[in-house]
Amino acid sequence: MSTTLSLAEELIARASITPADAGCQDLIAKRLKQIGFACETIADGETTNLWAVRHGAAAGTGKLLAFAGHTDVVPPGPLEAWNSPPFSPTQHNGKLYGRGVADMKTSLAAFVVAAEEFVAAHPTHTGSLAFLLTSDEEGPATDGTIKVVERLQARGERLDYCIVGEPTSHKQLGDTLKNGRRGSLSGKLTVYGCQGHIAYPQRNPIHLLAPALAQLVATEWDRGNEYFPPTSWQVSNIHAGMGATNVTPGEIVVDFNFRFSTASTADTLKQRVHAMLAAHGLNPGKEYTLDWNLSGVPFLTQPGTLSNALMQAIKNETGIQAQLSTTGGTSDGRFIATICNQVIEFGPMNESIHQVNESISLDDIEPLKNIYFRVIEQLIA
């Protein structure tokens, strides 16, 4: 068994359902301390965060490469649906199974072992190497990476490069890198009417909202750009009424979400929604209320040193020409981008993430570690 595979299995065996860390970061910190990393635990609420750094010979002038990731995992779901216990790593038919194997404990193991091999090969390396880990990525993400970033900002620390170990590969290891993510803006819209007998309707809030809702659905918010698809607006929930067929409701509640590109801003999207509601005779405070939640702004890393290094490492290791992409949901890269100009996500296959029987190919584990090693060597040796 390879060192990377062994460590991945140790991490998977820890049932670190968000926001629990279940000792994963202690295990990683112990290994990092053995190769000269200074490790700092930053706890907030139920969340455990780790900031670990090994400065190079040119500390203060050399580049700093950080690996960011999360030790928490989503719940396994119905245990009877799994072919093997989710927190008992199992090898079967060329694959490794377990909750978090793809998202993202194999990435963590691969980068730790890559760091160990790099320090052994380059004990007097020029640049610095760091880890930024959290147990609050799969949850609300309020006490995790953002707290570490805030502390680093307060100390005036910045990162030059950051690899986020999210599972980005689509059809084969190394085919996709994420150089950005869309922002996420949610809204809870409540339109008020007058509850009453359906035979004597007064102000039915469903009818009041319907024209505006049709316009919101049909609107082209932007056309995206060379890196992002157009902004999308989607309704997730609509609720009105009490279940009776002879009563008009007093209100209708609509939950919706924008996944928006850098072609729009949260403020302009908010303004356009309010303008559409006003155009259909709905006034804030009286006819409706709208509560907003901005959970992430879009970020984009232009092609450059880090993406080129990753592409070259992938090409050398696998023969694959990686492609840049900004698809998918939000990630902690949105927080790190505030203190790092070059943030790229790269990790194993994502076809089974958050599913029962989550798995990755055993044949991908060592190449993933080797790709990380090649990048470290190229950027900070």
- The answer on whether 175 is annotated among ligand-binding residues is no
Q: Which amino acid is at 154?
A: A
Which of 90, 77, 95 minimizes the C-alpha distance to 17?
77
**Closest residue by Cα to residue 310 from 366, 374, 367:** 374
Under 8 Å between Cβ of 318 and 174: yes
Alpha carbon of 156 to those of 6, 144, 361: distances in Å? 37, 19, 41
Q: Could you give the residue numbers annotated as active site?
A: 72, 137
Which residues partner with 284 through β-bridges?
288
Q: On the CB side of 326, how many CA atoms lie within 13 Å of its CA? A: 26
**Distances from the Cα of 215 to the Cα of 161, 189, 209, 219, 237, angstroms:** 42, 15, 10, 6, 17
Determine whether the annotation assigns residue 351 to a binding site: no
The tokens for 248 are 């008009």
Nearest to 258 by CA among 188, 330, 186: 186
The helix-helix angle for 106-121 and 3-12 (nearest 10°) equals 140
Nearest to 368 by CA among 308, 321, 307, 314: 314
CB 103 within 8 A of CB 358: yes
Calculate the alpha carbon distances from 191 to 200, 208, 245, 253 in Å: 20, 8, 20, 7
d(CA 298, CA 302): 13
Dist CA 37 CA 25 (whole Å): 13
C-alpha to C-alpha distance for 139 and 143, rounded to whole angstroms: 9
* Residue 138 known to bind ligand: yes
Task: State the helix-helix crossing angle for 305-318 and 365-380, rounded to 10 degrees.
Answer: 140
| 166 is annotated as contributing to ligand binding | yes
Known binding residue 9? Answer is: no
9-42 burial code (b ≥16 CB/10 A, e <16): bbbbbbbbbbbbbbbbbebbbebbeebebebeeb
Q: What residue numbers does the annotated binding site cover?
A: 70, 103, 138, 166, 354
Q: What residue numbers does the annotated binding site for Zn(2+) cover?
A: 70, 103, 138, 166, 354
